[in-house]
Amino acid sequence: MNTLRRAPVPAQKLLIDGAWQDGSGTPFAVTSPIDGSRLTTLEAATEADVERAVAAARRAFDSGVWSRAAPAARKKVLHAIADRIEAEALDLAVLGVRDNGTELAMALKAEPGSAAGTFRYYAEALDKVNGEIAPTAPDVLGLVHRMPVGVVGAIVPWNFPLMIGAWKLAPALAMGNSVVLKPAETASLSLLRLAQICADCGLPEGVLNVVTGAGAETGSALALSMGVDVLAFTGSGVTGRRLLEASARSNLKRVYLELGGKSPNVVFADAPDLREAAKVSAAGIFRNSGQVCVAGSRLLVQASVHDEFLALLKAEAEALRVGDPLAEGTQIGAVNSEAQLARVLSFMEGAGEIVTGGARILENTGGTYMAPTIVAGVGAQDRLFQEEVFGPVLAVTPFSDEAEAVRLANATDFGLAAAVWTSDLSRAHRMVAAIRAGVVHVNTYGGADNTVPLGGVGQSGNGHDKSLHALQKYVDLRTAWIKL
């Protein structure tokens, strides 16, 4: 572990048309949130670099080397990629932790562990997706073909780059598309390594291209490119709106957005086990320092058990070990960057009753750490109730009955995830139906796998990652109407 921790990271390049290349912009430094040290440099891709990558992707697509390859051939490559991810799991996880600060235990499972499973899932799925024969008149044959869309642009965030990157890459590649991938400026290293793994495993040159740089330049250029057919994005609502505007200003490319959340975690007095609910709820907001899109960041707890549950939750939060994410026993790692930490801390100004936490810690390390924070007495109009923090901050609001719980759960513009804790099966079904969210957990929080979709409603976005439903983002329907 110490060897991996100290391993030098060479200056990174852009991957365009199968070759690692310099960008046209000025390279910039990568700083580790663990201790503030400089890890390496990334290339800053300009609009010209992005267009070279898009052109390479188009040439590869048009050549048919991947887009028209037999499903069995694509399956073989995707399985090989999954095998290599698994073989390099520790190296990939440590590299990612040094880059973005996620605690190692979680990173191992959520990053290479999840990514390998995702590539394997879509490797097995790709030859199970069939066309259709339409019910027509006897003298006509109507066929519906599912065709790859062409060039997919994928913009991936910094919280779980390898996992979310795989959610975009694997289904897009499975369907025969070419991809231009833009990682986050503060978490590009594991995806750059993944790109090399893909090449080593036989993915043809130009099918996957990677451009690094700032969102305002590199991401914008990808969104505005006339050569990109579909854009898949995970990140903030502010950026999501800009991507939709870019689509309208360019070629009307389809844009799929997995955006933020302010997910309600609803605890009724008849929860099966309040202590277990407190333990799981703490993990649901504080893991990865709260930098999880589906984090249960709003706790709605029934008034009759409010004080009891809050005491249990406070004990869980204060027992969590925050620190060096590569150190043994650490349960919560670093906030991704100084800028993100400053934003999270700004929510403490004028917040309600800070039950625990609320401040930066471990400043002497040079890293960006914050204590798990619980704020009670948060009203439905408060900033902490309405806005996504994306940090280790939980807003607590009491409710009286089921009707008020539903009203409060739906009282934001978001609709990504939710949870309900109750022993009443009928109530559980009513809450699943009533809460506007893409995922509703019952007596648990998190853990859904590739067999089910992830997507939101309202300002949490559109489209779905994971499951067979994700494949529909990366295909076009083509009708063949044949006179017999």
Q: Which residues have a catalytic role annotated? A: 258
User: For the chain, what is the HEC assignment?
Assistant: CHHHHHCCCCCCCEEECCEEECCCCCCEEEECCCCCCEEEEECCCCHHHHHHHHHHHHHHHHHCCCCCCCHHHHHHHHHHHHHHHHHCHHHHHHHHHHHHCCCHHHHHHHHHHHHHHHHHHHHHHHHHCCCEEECCCCCEEEEEEEEECCEEEEECCCCCHHHHHHHHHHHHHHCCCEEEEECECCECHHHHHHHHHHHHCCCCCCCEEECCCCHHHHHHHHHHCCCCCEEEEECCHHHHHHHHHHHHHCCCCEEEEECCCCCEEEECCCCCCHHHHHHHHHHHHHHHHHCCCCCCCEEEEEHHHHHHHHHHHHHHHHHCCECCCCCCCCCECCCCCHHHHHHHHHCCCCCCEEEECCCEECHHHCCCEECCEEEECCCCCCHHHHCCCCCCEEEEEEECCHHHHHHHHCCCCCCCEEEEECCCHHHHHHHHHHCCCCEEEECCCCCCCCCCCECCCHHHECCCECCHHHHHHHEEEEEEEEEC
Burial code of 236-253, b = ≥16 C-beta within 10 A, e = fewer? Answer: bbebbebbbebbeeeeeb
Which residues lie below 8 Å from residue 276, measured CB to CB, with a gap of 6+? none
Dihedral Cα 389, 393, 396, 402, nearest 10 deg: 60
Residue keyed to tokens 């700032």:
214
Structure tokens given for 85: 């991810």
Nearest of 463, 293, 323 to residue 388 by alpha carbon: 293
Residue linked to tokens 């390998």: 116
Question: ∠352-355-358 over CA atoms, to 5°?
Answer: 75
